[in-house]
Structure 1
């Protein structure tokens, strides 16, 4: 039986100091760093080394001095995701509560508690999730696909005549931004700040500055939609009868921004790389359409864009699959390692379906936007190879670099070459492609009517409460 560590790497199952390694039972606890260029270059080698210890869970450092338990076992990960014995409420984080996590910690913004669906349990989680599901359920998937096609055409037209591009900066990162603009009724300047801030948070860069950038962007979006409600997710969430008052709407939106931009960009970029570099998916070079669905599923199964996250906390000291999880310690699910577990799950079952992977998580916190995310990624890649059928890597695959950070799997750049092509003749840049706010009914069902002048809008009330919360006045 193994005993994963507390945040100091020295506790036994009863929370007392232990001299031996709580994972292997010998020597000092080996805490594996999940940060830096070495981990970013080959995280699967690190997962393999951890798995070789024989344990299903391992002491890791998310940054110097910030420790957690990383679950690499498929069965253990799935049981934690499904079990009521584990909570998503980050107010259980012992080190944060005792003041051991500095305010400028690079991982703190991604882990500390907020009143949203991601960090809540039980009835609170169900109520908050219902608001999100109802709003996302109004998105017309057919119109969403048409919009992605238009936005993709406009972006490809920008670099098609040059014969070269960086598919990350010029396409994969920009396209989800445009989709976010349309779905959330977000003006382009606000969306760019939100995506810049969320990207930095995933990287662990300048956390306080990045968090302030995201917060201000969301406040600006909320004020904008308060004055101009429309056919968009933000307006629907504001008007939802189950959306409680207070600053929750900001925190709910933050979750959706984080899930809908950075991971979507990484999914598009890594799936495109699969088609360009992996012999299993390179059939399009012979005039065969690229296997888009297969490349996306392969990324989700073996190299998911959110590699390590799904933070949980044991409600009480809990033994699971011969591993003892103490209270108060962040438990990260390694979706990447669990899906690659050679002894169980989909890695061991050759007949397992694509849906068996954990990239969308599982249980009550399973991603509510799977259909939208997959549709966006599929359409983006389809349009790319349709317009540029001789697309090829401009550098050797071994020279590609990955962005450091414990949570994501993200390419820094993806340089490509292709035969130069003229932009589409007579193209009319749509409002969607230019990142403008959507017109009613263009992508979503009709939105709520504007508030009457004498009635304070829910958005204005929320904005005032949020400002008080952010300034520490409450």
Structure 2
């Protein structure tokens, strides 16, 4: 591997990706990168160039199977970048069919009812650590709440919910290979086929697209993926910004919490999925006047494109022109974006409402970021606060499972790869 490629893996990039983006962008809108040891790729850093690629599936398709044959089977990025038979990993008629079913099912979710449930669930999680006066808002809060939201909209019964959340969190901590989680989702789909209800899984199965059970499993697996690390990162990154950025931190104890503003800021400058939207041009192509090789990963830097100097930095509050949710045919469906924003907003507001005197437990530059070429993810977010008056609220059904990290070194890449390998049916 030549030395002119920027390594997107390892702690150096994770600690300060924006400096790397600026350095690469100075040489042009695309840059040669290394996404794993000896695995080359091209990163698109220009906003206009990112839109060019995302809006042109004919020249920039999703199919990675030619590339897959060129990398070792134990390559750490292969599980996330390999072929996935869901609406995010297909093109053409298959994509249209699967995406239509997913979009229509998510559009039927009652977001007002979901927000009420989210707030109740958030309170139940906060009650677990409120009396301690300290917490890790990643492990004890942001890591669990989105998964509970996903199981809620999927109509998962309490026992199944506990198994799904426990299984997913065990994957992220590296204590399970995902087989039990896959078995649980297969069982959930089979149960909904036999006895449908007012939930996303039942609506997927009843859709005119005629999904098979296996196709529905892959769609539900995609929901689990979208409702885990990305949403966890959105919540944690927004809380971090509110705690450490002087533009926001001074207002936390006031009457009007700028949560929506902070959420927009994160989606612009620190999006939870920093680099992905991967495509595989079948022939050499031009991106912004620069040639990119055939059958090699072409990644969109959502973080780099959003901070492109060609895009005005002013007026980001309330501005949804960022591409944190993607663009073109494979953009996150509008109902899913609405659910994601609502989940992030409700999660952050409940913490700040319940614990208004929240303070970071360590300096901002001491926070640890996970080493990943794809995600902008905090490993932990330790905070302190005066314990509020005790308010134990009833938990409807089994309590959210507590899965604690292995005290040894954090290995996010392996855990995430295992989760995505499960999503693909491996």
Q: Is 1:43 matched up with 2:25?
A: no
SS in 2 for 1:345: coil
User: Equivalents in 1 of 2:146, 2:253: separation in Å?
Assistant: 30
Q: How does 1:353-372 map to 2 (within 5 A)?
A: 354-368=319-333, 369-372=336-339
Correspondence for 2:303 among 336, 353, 356: 336
Answer whether contact 1:151 1:432 (CA < 8 A) is retained: no
User: Equivalents in 2 of 1:148, 1:351: separation in Å?
Assistant: 27
SS in 2 for 1:225: helix
Q: How does 1:60-139 map to 2 (within 5 A)?
A: 60-91=33-64, 93-97=65-69, 100-139=70-109
User: Equivalents in 2 of 1:304, 1:65: separation in Å?
Assistant: 26
Distance 1:346 1:393, change over 3 A: same
Which one is further off, 246-255 or 169-178?
246-255
1:444-466 CA distance string (max 9 Å, x none): xxxxxxxxxxxxxxxxxxxxxxx
Distance 1:329 1:193, change over 3 A: farther
Answer whether contact 2:21 2:45 (CA < 8 A) is retained: yes
Q: How does 1:356-435 map to 2 (within 5 A)?
A: 356-368=321-333, 369-424=336-391, 427-431=393-397, 434=400
Q: How does 1:156-305 map to 2 (within 5 A)?
A: 156-186=126-156, 187-196=160-169, 199=172, 210=177, 212=179, 215-245=182-212, 247-305=214-272
1:176-205 CA distance string (max 9 Å, x none): 1211221112323332255236647xxxx7
Unaligned runs of 5+ in 2: 402-421
Question: Which of the pair has more CA radius of gyration?
Answer: 1
1:145 is matched with which residue? Answer: 115
What TM-score comes out, normalization by structure 2 length? Answer: 0.87
Answer whether contact 2:253 2:357 (CA < 8 A) is retained: no
Distance 1:170 1:434, change over 3 A: closer
Which one is further off, 321-330 or 181-190?
181-190
Tell me how far 1:247 sits from its aligned partner.
Answer: 2.5
User: Equivalents in 1 of 2:316, 2:369: separation in Å?
Assistant: 31
Which one is further off, 135-144 or 414-423?
414-423
SS in 1 for 2:112: helix
Structure 1 runs of 4+ with >4 Å offset: 209-214, 349-353, 432-435
Distance 1:329 1:197, change over 3 A: farther
Tell me how far 1:421 sits from its aligned partner.
Answer: 1.5
1:155-195 CA distance string (max 9 Å, x none): 11111111111111111111112112211123233322552
1:262-312 CA distance string (max 9 Å, x none): 111110011011111100111334534320001111110000000001011
Answer whether contact 1:76 1:320 (CA < 8 A) is retained: yes
Distance 1:352 1:297, change over 3 A: closer
Distance 1:428 1:62, change over 3 A: same
Tell me how far 1:47 sits from its aligned partner.
Answer: 1.1
Distance 1:184 1:153, change over 3 A: same
What TM-score comes out, normalization by structure 1 length? Answer: 0.78
1:408-428 CA distance string (max 9 Å, x none): 011111111111123326x32
